[in-house]
Chain A
Amino acid sequence: MKVAVISNSHLASLKLGQDLQPVVGVHPRFFGAGKHYMLGTALSPDGTRIVATTQDARRGMRVTAGVQYIDLHEYDAFFVYGLTVKLQTLLDVYRSHQVFGYEVSAGPELVSEALLRRIVRDEFRSTAAARILSLLAKSGKPVLFSPAPLPSEVLARASENGWMQDERGVHVLAWLIQIFDQSARELAVEYGASYMAQPAASVALCGLTAATHSTGAMRVNGRAYDDVDVDHMNPGYGRLVLDQACSALTGLI
C-alpha cells in the first residue's frame, strides 16, 4: 500500500519512526512543511496533482519528499496528521474563561460547551488540514485524518497548570479532550475523511500524552527538541501512530 503522509512539524516523528522500524507492507512517502507554509493556497490543485505553489512550501516538500507535488494517482491512500488541529486552543480558552461546573480560573466569563465545540470547528476550518482534506477528497481514495498529539503530561507538571494534577483537573482535561475529539471527528467526516484518535496506549493517567513519548523528540533535520517541548513526540511515538494509521487505511481500501 502506497500512502502519502502529509503533516507539518509532526511529520518528523512519523518519518523517523518509519526509519526506526518500517511498517510492514506499507510504502509511505512523507510530505511536509512548517505550519505557516501550508496555509491558504500554498498547496493547490493542478490536474491530478496537489502542487506546492510558494517557495517555502516547495522547499519543505522537496526536503521531506524529494518532490514538490503530491500525485493523487500515485498513492492508494492518504494520511493527514496534525497540521495545527490540536487541543491547545481549548486549553487556552479554558485558562482565560470559566466553564460551568469546572471553574478553576478567575476568568470573567463563562463559556458553554456548545461554544467550545464551535471554537474547535472555527479553528479547524482555518487550518491547512481543512484545505488539504478538501483537496484530497477529490481523489476518491481513502483519506485518514488524525489531530496533533495531545500535549505531553510534562505540561501538567508546570506550576501554572497545577489544576491539571488534581482529580477535578483530570476530569476537566478528559472533558475538554472529549469535546475536541468529537468535534474533530465530525469535521474530518464533513471533509470526507476518516478519523483516528490518538493511540490509547500513549495516553497517561492525566489524559495527556505520556512523558515517555515526548522525551527525545526530534525535528525532520534530526535535531532534537528540548525535553520541555510538550507538543512534539519522539520517533517511537510516531511509529505507533503510523502503525495504527496504516492499519486503519488498510481497512478502508
Chain B
Amino acid sequence: MIFSPYTGLPDRAFWRTGVASQHPFSISDLYHKKFAISPKMKIATAGSCFAQHIGRHLSNAGYSVIDTEPPSPHLTSASAMEYGYGIYSARYGNIYLTAQLLQLFQEAYGQFAPADAIWERDGRYYDAMRPSVEPRGLNSPEEVVAHRAKHLSAVRQMIESMNLFVFTFGLTEGWIHKETGTCYPTAPGTVAGSFDPEKHSFKNYKVHEIRAHFLAVRHLIRAINPRCKFLITVSPVPLTATASGKHVLAASTYSKSVLRAVTGELADRFADVDYFPSFELISGSLSRSMFYSANLRNVEPQGVESVMRVFFSQHPKVAKVKVKVPRTKSANLADEVVCEEALLEAFKA
C-alpha cells in the first residue's frame, strides 16, 4: 500500500468532497472555532460595510454587542442608520482599512492626530475621519472638534470594555495626506472636502503594512484590555472602483488576496485571533456567485444568512430574539448596509 501525506485526511481536505459535492447553503466542516464566544462576552464590531451584517446578526442572536453611542429613541431606524448610529459599536462609520483602524485607536489615546481632519462643503463642516456620520455636516469646525472628542471617548469606552473585537478587513486602496500619511476613509471630495493632488495621494497598502497595522492595533488593545480576543474576516464585497490603474477585477482580486493572506497569517500566529471564512462562503466557487446581487458586488440577504448559519453552527445563538423591526416603511432595511465606498460609482463619467 502506498502512503501519502494526504492519506487519511478528512473530507474537508479534498476539493471534491469538501467543495464540489457540497451545497452552498449547507456546507459542512468549513469553520472550526478557535475559542468559544459566551453570551456574557461584550462584543465590539468594526470594519467594512459587510461587517454591519455580522454585528446585526450577532445582536439579533442574543449576543452582547456593545453600542457606546446609541441613537436617540426618537429617531427611526433609517435615520439612525443614515447618521451612523447602531451600525457599529461606536459611531465611526465604515473602517475599510487597517491603517484607518489603527489611527482611530491611537487617536483615542492621544497617540495620533489626523492631518486635515475637518472637511468643508457648502458651508458645512465634516469630520474627515468619518464624514458620512453627519450627512448634513455640522455648523462649525469647532463643533466638529467637539463631536470628535465625544466620539473618541466612546471609542475608549468600547476598547476598555470589549471581550471580543470583530473586525472585517475591507480594502487595501485608500487616500492619504501626503505629508503625514494620515489615511482617510473616503477619497477627499467624495463625501466632503476636495481632492488636492499636491496634498493627497493614492495608496495601495501592502501585506507587510496591513499586517503591521493590525499587530499595532492588537498590541494597543491588549495593553489596555489584555484578555480581549479577536475575530477577523475579509469582506467578500469587491471594489467599487480602483485608482490603481489596473482593471477593477484584477485590482479587487489583488486587494482581497492581500487581505486574505494577512488574516490567515494572523490567525495562524495568534491563539487569540480567529478567522471566520465569510469571504470564502460568498465569493468562493462553491456559491457560483449566487449570493451576489445583479451588480455582482452587493451581497444578497440569503448570502448573509448562509454565512451566519455557518457562524452559528460553531457559536450557537444565545436565545431566540426577535429581529429588530425598523420603524420605517423600508421593507428591506434589516438587510441594508451603509457603504460609502459605493459612492465612487457616481464618479464614473
Cα separation A64 to B49 with both chains bound (whole Å): 53
0/1 per residue, A83-113, Cβ < 8 Å to B?
A: 0000001001100111011000000111111
> Within the complex, what minimum Cβ distance (angstroms) separates B74 from chain A?
5
Residues of B within 8 A of A115 (CB): 72, 75, 83, 134
Pair A114/B137 contact, Cβ less than 8 Å: yes
A101 to B72, CA, bound (A): 19
Shortest CB–CB separation between residue A90 and chain B, in angstroms? 9
Interface residue A123 (Cβ < 8 Å from any Cβ of B): yes
Q: Let me know if B137 and A100 touch, CB within 8 A.
A: no
Taking the closest CB of chain A, its distance from the CB of B86, in whole angstroms, is 13
A interface bracket (residues with beta carbon within 8 Å of B): 20 to 34
Cβ B74 vs Cβ A110 within 8 A: no
Interface core residue of B79, B82, B140 (most chain A CB under 10 Å): B79
Q: How far is the CB of A171 from chain B (nearest CB, A)?
A: 15
Name the B residues within 8 Å of A109 (CB-CB): 69, 150, 154
B93-101, B141-149, B187-195, B331-339: which lies at the interface: B141-149
Tell me whether A100 and B142 are in contact (CB under 8 A). yes
| Contact status A112-B147, CB under 8 Å | yes
Cβ-defined contact, B72 with A126, below 8 A: no
Q: Report whether A89 and B138 are in contact in the complex, using a CB–CB cutoff of 8 Å.
A: no
Query: Within 8 Å of chain A (Cβ to Cβ): is B76?
Result: yes
Contact B76 A122 (CB under 8 A): yes
Verify A93–B139 contact, CB threshold 8 A: no
Contact with A along B62-100 (1 / 0, CB 8 A): 000000010010111001001100000000000000000
Which residues of chain B come closer than 8 Å to A110, judged between CB atoms? 146-147, 150
**A99 nearest CB across to chain B (Å):** 9
Task: Determine if B139 and A100 form an interchain contact, defined as CB atoms under 8 angstroms apart.
Answer: yes
**Is B327 an interface residue when CB atoms closer than 8 A count as contact?**
yes
Given contacts A112-B138, A114-B136, A126-B327, contact A100 B147 (CB under 8 A): yes
Q: How far is the CB of B347 from chain A (nearest CB, A)?
A: 25
A118 interfacial by beta-carbon distance below 8 Å = yes
B76 and chain A: residue at smallest CB distance: A122
Verify A112–B134 contact, CB threshold 8 A. yes
Name the A residues within 8 Å of B150 (CB-CB). 98, 108-110
- Chain B nearest CB from A115 CB (Å) reads 6
Contact indicator per residue, chain B 160-178, by CB within 8 Å of chain A (1) or not (0): 0000000000000000000
Evaluate contact between B74 and A123: CB separation under 8 angstroms.
yes
Closest residue of chain B to A103 (Cβ to Cβ) is B146
Within 8 A of B (CB), among A115-143: 115, 118-119, 121-123, 125-126
C-alpha spacing A112/B72, complex, angstroms: 12
Which residues on the B side are within 8 Å of A113 (C-beta)? 138-139
Tell me which of B72, B134, B136, B150 has the highest count of chain A C-beta atoms within 10 A of its own C-beta: B72
10 more contacts with CB within 8 A, not counting A119-B72, A122-B75, are A97-B72, A100-B138, A110-B146, A111-B72, A112-B134, A112-B138, A114-B138, A115-B83, A119-B75, A126-B327
